[in-house]
Amino acid sequence: MNIRLVIQQLGLLLLLLCLALLGVTAWGAIEHFTSQPAAGTSIEREWVGLVAEWVTVGVGLALGGSMWWFARPRDRRPAVLGRREALLLVALGWLLGAAVAGLPYFLWAHLERTAGPNHPFRSFMSCYFEAMSGLTTTGATVLSDIRAVPFGLLLWRATTHWLGGLGIVVLFVAVLPSLGVGGKKLYQIEAPGPAAQGVRPRIRETARVLWLIYLGLTAAQIVLLYLAGMNLGDAVCHTFATLATGGFSTRDASIGYYNSPLINWIIIAFMLLAGANFGLYYQLLRRRFRAVWTDPELRLYLAIVFVGCLIVCGALVEERLVSTTGDDVEPSIAAAIRHGVFQVVSIQTTTGFCTADFDLWGLAPRMTLLFLMFVGASAGSTGGGIKIIRVLIAFKVIVAEVERVFRPNVVRTVKVGRQPVDPELRLGTMVYVLALLLVFAVGTVALMLIEADKGIDVVTALSASAATLNNIGPGLNLVGAMRNYGWFSEPSLAVMSLLMVLGRLELYAVIVMFVPRFWKSE
Amino acid sequence: MNIRLVIQQLGLLLLLLCLALLGVTAWGAIEHFTSQPAAGTSIEREWVGLVAEWVTVGVGLALGGSMWWFARPRDRRPAVLGRREALLLVALGWLLGAAVAGLPYFLWAHLERTAGPNHPFRSFMSCYFEAMSGLTTTGATVLSDIRAVPFGLLLWRATTHWLGGLGIVVLFVAVLPSLGVGGKKLYQIEAPGPAAQGVRPRIRETARVLWLIYLGLTAAQIVLLYLAGMNLGDAVCHTFATLATGGFSTRDASIGYYNSPLINWIIIAFMLLAGANFGLYYQLLRRRFRAVWTDPELRLYLAIVFVGCLIVCGALVEERLVSTTGDDVEPSIAAAIRHGVFQVVSIQTTTGFCTADFDLWGLAPRMTLLFLMFVGASAGSTGGGIKIIRVLIAFKVIVAEVERVFRPNVVRTVKVGRQPVDPELRLGTMVYVLALLLVFAVGTVALMLIEADKGIDVVTALSASAATLNNIGPGLNLVGAMRNYGWFSEPSLAVMSLLMVLGRLELYAVIVMFVPRFWKSE
């Protein structure tokens, strides 16, 4: 394995991440010098956040730069990024990226006097968890008092979502000099879904087209949210969190803070857009409407959302609704529909925004949400979970297998849309789903064992494992809509950080590092 | 589909079941006329049990006889039992067999004055559950006061285990006139494991050899338990329940009633024997020791039991042990080992006998037991669960798939022992495991929804679903070692009866009946 090349590219990736952070500080600085302090925050605190970010940029540039310099190729031959190097680069890129992305939180908590010795960000593991939660677009937070954190850091927190949504490595492929075939390998490892096909023949073009679509959607949502009454900072942060299907909010009550149906519906619409395959938008731009409309994954996606909304809204009409602000919602059918649809779309797309405390809901809607956590969003979207297309393939394979029991001699092809699914993908899909369930079970047991002395209940452990592995954010009970992950011990936060990156990179890129044969030269 | 043939053979099956019940009543009659009433039971009650059994025999003979007579073939051509007919015969055989096998309980509870209006057997659904639990060798009971039930019924309860262990239909294949190729189909559907191979070329011989081995083991265990101090009735009942990996006991405290290490170790040994592939005993008889010793499934089976024992016994050495009688066990390393090994072997082989209340144990041993519930026993044994060989294949397929990620171009064969696993079996295994987990999840949710007003906890629902689907018996919390299933409502008992037969027939024979295409003529 060409470790030098991996280290060198890793250095470049860090440099890129630091540039993004530097960009974020620009706005923080403007905020510092111009704004009035918002409620609960002070201009001085904003300044401490800026310092923390600048120190991180310095550290990151030094580290990334030296990695890039010392690991530069010794000879002039073009470096070849093989499959194993690509896997290692992606996995290490995420693991190391989260460490750098979490550093500003850690520095801030140690520089800021008012943060106090019990502030979650005093522990580096908590900061790492928060940064990993950001980059993997999970949206699980350790913070209980979000408004005490300066705007500059909240903007960075939202930006980690936005960068991680389409993939930090895909961004890297899009903007940096081509790695030849290597870029395609990187793209395939990081892009969600079983068969990541490029929308354009050349992978750099694909990455660029996807980022342009992403930028367009981002601009559109920011404008709409601003027009609907959000201030610009919140509009940007929530847009980043929506389109990446992340879920970090700048408010303790999440979207529930804005008691505005218009804002809710705008976010619902953009969550739905973010949970669909981005390749479809490229098809739309090229006016291939028929291809979009007949896409089997899109149809199933909308159908599942629709059925989920029916079940949940139906159950909510009769029920007492409590907003995430803690206030009772005026009972009406419109409110039941709005809050029901919001929560279903938020969980299904693995965003994790909340407007209502769904932990108070009945068993049927809560079970529906737990089920949707595993289904997840579409392949090629920014969302997590098993992915709709895999659920579809797995279902069809199971049906075919049941039919084989009573008609063993009929040769059957499993089709998705008009495309036959080849046997390798059939097996691969079943293996993936089973492996994900195994990781989920292991994660649950690990959390229960680590937190045994706190007497963590099964529902909390199950849903924390599911919500981090599937990159959702909130779970049930002690990690529910009104709670956070700050009370977990450091080993649990480490386990869940691992679950998040396992889920985001679809298991294999991380798992292979534990296989001895991966490290042996061929 | 040749429905007539299915009905006719179903009639024969019922006749056979009634003959077995008639045989059981013979001992009940001897007990009635000779024995002193045991503690808590009366001679009169024994008599009521006999009447209930005789009425059932009468009803069964009339029903089975008329099915056999009215559905006899109209022409002289030999009837061909196709694949779909075989599937239907096995599924209906178990569903109908449980109804007949449960009838004596129901009749007894209505004839016996002292049984009282709240006795669980007053509900036919409870009797059906108890009979299905017997035939599927689950061992989950609705009874809280076992000693109040006459011996004749307890013997029948144990006999349902023994008949269901190797399979009622396999017995049928062994003793009744050959159905030609049909017998092989029946055997394959009912025998547990992914690829049920006969030990002899002709399937009737296979069925006979297996039943002879089963009879031999039965005789050996009865003698040993009797010599170890059990009375003959208990020795027979517990032997039936051990070799079928069932778990019904004639005592409320299960095996914990016998505070005898010797009896515990005898039962541990025979549970282990019952959880291994019976084909191996045939190999032993033919002196093919090497084939037995190198069998990969046997090795993994023993290894899993060993590791499970290490974890559980290690955790128990420091812990307070409470016997199923409710008494504290004198703390000693020998007692920790004995109770640890007993519970591990009992759960792993899916028997479900108990000597200690494992619900009081720490998280690690309880999680180990829950994990073992899913692994289950060997293919070709009388046990349930996923089966060791499937766990082995699934593990190897996952490893191969992970390797394919970083070495996509290497052709890999997955081998078990020296046998390559063909692609169809690979996919089939993954599908089976995933389908089982899905059924488990659906079962859990169904129980939670049905029992929502009783506020059933998640651990109870999860473990009740796992313990019935994997044919184990006791679960955790409200269905734990010291509890029973009598408190469930009738819809829940119906769901769990379905889970038991789904687990015993390895899903497909039951699932196909819900597929419309199954019923269409080809």
pLDDT (tens digit per residue) in B198-234: 556 667 777 788 888 999 999 999 999 999 989 888 9
Contact state of B401 with A431 under an 8 Å Cβ cutoff: yes
Chain B residue whose CA is closest to A509? B405
B420's tokens: 């390559």
CA distance B74 to chain A (A): 26
Q: What is the pTM of this model?
A: 0.91
Lowest mean pLDDT among A283-292, A423-432, B52-61, B163-172: B163-172
Do the Cβ atoms of A245 and A377 come closer than 8 Å? yes
Quick one: how many helices (H) and strands (E) in chain A? Answer: 21, 2
Q: Output the pLDDT for position A398.
A: 92
Give every CB contact of residue A442 below 8 A, 6+ residues apart in sequence.
none
A42: confidence class by pLDDT, cuts 50, 70, 90: low
Rounded to an integer, what distance in angstroms lies between the CA atom of residue B190 and that of residue B192? 6
Residues facing residue A415 across a β-bridge? A420
Contact state of A367 with B448 under an 8 Å Cβ cutoff: yes
Written as one letter, the residue type at B465 is S
To 10 degrees, what angle do helices B423-450 and A423-450 make?
50
Contact state of B405 with A512 under an 8 Å Cβ cutoff: yes
CA distance A468 to chain B (A): 20
B86's tokens: 């075989």
Complex prediction ipTM: 0.89
Residues of B in contact with A522 (CB under 8 A): 407
**A:B CB pairs within 8 Å:** 102
Rounded to an integer, what distance in angstroms lies between the CA atom of residue B120 and that of residue B273? 34
B382, B387, B393, B397: CA torsion to nearest 10 = 160
Partner residue facing B431 (CB), from A398, A445, A515: A398
Instruction: Find the angle CA(A141)-CA(A142)-CA(A145) to the nearest 5 degrees.
Output: 95
Partner residue facing B402 (CB), from A363, A402, A508: A508
pLDDT value at B110 more than 70: yes
Contact state of A406 with B367 under an 8 Å Cβ cutoff: no
Contact state of A407 with B522 under an 8 Å Cβ cutoff: yes
Longest dimension (CA), chain A: 76
Partner residue facing B434 (CB), from A433, A449, A508: A433
Instruction: Find the angle CA(B502)-CA(B504)-CA(B509) to the nearest 5 degrees.
Output: 55
Average pLDDT, chain A: 87
Residues of A in contact with B1 (CB under 8 A): none
A307's tokens: 């059925």
SS3 A296: helix
Contact state of A364 with B406 under an 8 Å Cβ cutoff: no
Longest dimension (CA), chain B: 76
Do the Cβ atoms of B225 and B411 come closer than 8 Å? no
Do the Cβ atoms of B163 and B479 come closer than 8 Å? no
CA distance A320 to chain B (A): 18
Do the Cβ atoms of A68 and A15 come closer than 8 Å? yes
Chain B neighbours among A 405-424 (CB < 8 Å)? 405-408, 423
Do the Cβ atoms of B129 and B113 come closer than 8 Å? no
Written as one letter, the residue type at A199 is V
Chain A neighbours among B 271-330 (CB < 8 Å)? none
Mean pLDDT for B365-375 is 90
Lowest mean pLDDT among A266-280, B180-194, B408-422: B180-194
Rounded to an integer, what distance in angstroms lies between the CA atom of residue A292 and that of residue A287? 9
A95: confidence class by pLDDT, cuts 50, 70, 90: very high
Contact state of A434 with B435 under an 8 Å Cβ cutoff: no
B162, B164, B168, B173: CA torsion to nearest 10 = -70
Q: Output the pLDDT for position A172.
A: 66
Residues of B in contact with A442 (CB under 8 A): none
| Secondary-structure percent of chain A, ordered helix, strand, coil, rounded to 5 | 70, 0, 30
Partner residue facing A408 (CB), from B83, B364, B435: B83
Contact state of A367 with B433 under an 8 Å Cβ cutoff: no
Rounded to an integer, what distance in angstroms lies between the CA atom of residue B183 and that of residue A487? 61
pLDDT tens profile B232-248: 889 999 999 999 999 99
SS3 B328: strand
Compare B205 and B61 and report the one with higher pLDDT.
B61
Contact state of A403 with B515 under an 8 Å Cβ cutoff: yes
Do the Cβ atoms of A380 and A192 come closer than 8 Å? yes
CA distance A209 to chain B (A): 27
Rounded to an integer, what distance in angstroms lies between the CA atom of residue A52 and that of residue A106? 8
A343: confidence class by pLDDT, cuts 50, 70, 90: very high
Lowest mean pLDDT among B21-25, B378-382, B412-416, B428-432: B412-416
Mean pLDDT for B495-509 is 92
Average pLDDT, chain B: 87
B38: confidence class by pLDDT, cuts 50, 70, 90: low
